[in-house]
Structure 1
Amino acid sequence: MCLGIPGEVVELSPDRDDIATVEVVGVRRAVNIGLLAPDGAKPGDWVLVHVGFAMSKIDEAEAAATLDLLRGLGRAYADELEALADSDIT
């Protein structure tokens, strides 16, 4: 199962305008934000992350509700977090 997981943008790459550091449940990873053009993302924005790409921006309330729902999925959620922790698009 593939899931989109909410994460908070914490930093934009100084070298690339399509890469941001996103924190997902304590894990920080480089994520491609190119699909969010033309508006992009900025620190503090919440995004829905899937396989290293920010698919859309969401608000903080939606992020919290989605994280609560995902926690209830058990193993599928744990697998997705593990894949995120092991990923590196840099």
Structure 2
Amino acid sequence: MCLGIPGEIVEIKAGHDDLAMVDVVGVRRAINIGLLGPDQIGIGDWVLVHVGFAMSKIDETEAAATLAILTGLGQAYTDELQALAESDIT
């Protein structure tokens, strides 16, 4: 199962307008923000991450609600976090 997981932008990669570092419940990974554009995303913004891409910008309330629902999925959510932790697009 592939899930879209909320993550908070914690860094925009210098020299790479299309890459940002995102924090997803303690897991930090580089993601591609090219679909949204660097002028639409900043540090502290929340995005919905799917297969290494920021698919949409969401607000913090929506992020918290989505994370609560995802946590209830159990193993599927755990597997998705593990895959995120093991990924590297840089």
Query: For residues 38 and 32 of structure 1, do their structure 2 counterparts lie closer, same or farther at Cα, with a shift above 3 Å needed?
Result: closer
Give the TM-score normalised by the residue count of structure 1: 0.97
- The structure 1 segments of at least 4 consecutive aligned residues displaced by more than 6 Å after TM superposition are none
Indicate yes or no: 2:54 matched with 1:54: yes
The residue that corresponds to 2:71 in the other structure is 71
- % of aligned pairs identical? 74
Conservation of the 8 A alpha-carbon contact between 1:33 and 1:40: no
Q: Which residue does the alignment assign to 1:16?
A: 16
Q: Is the 8 A contact 2:18 2:38 kept in 1?
A: no
Deviation at 1:40, TM superposition (A): 3.0
The number of aligned residues is 90
RMSD: 0.9
CA distance in 2, matches of 1:40, 1:4: 19
Instruction: State the distance in 1 between where 2:3 and 2:45 align.
Output: 19
Query: 2:6 maps to which residue?
Result: 6
Does structure 1 residue 88 correspond to structure 2 residue 88? yes
**Paired residue for 2:30?**
30
Task: Note if 1:43 corresponds to 2:43.
Answer: yes
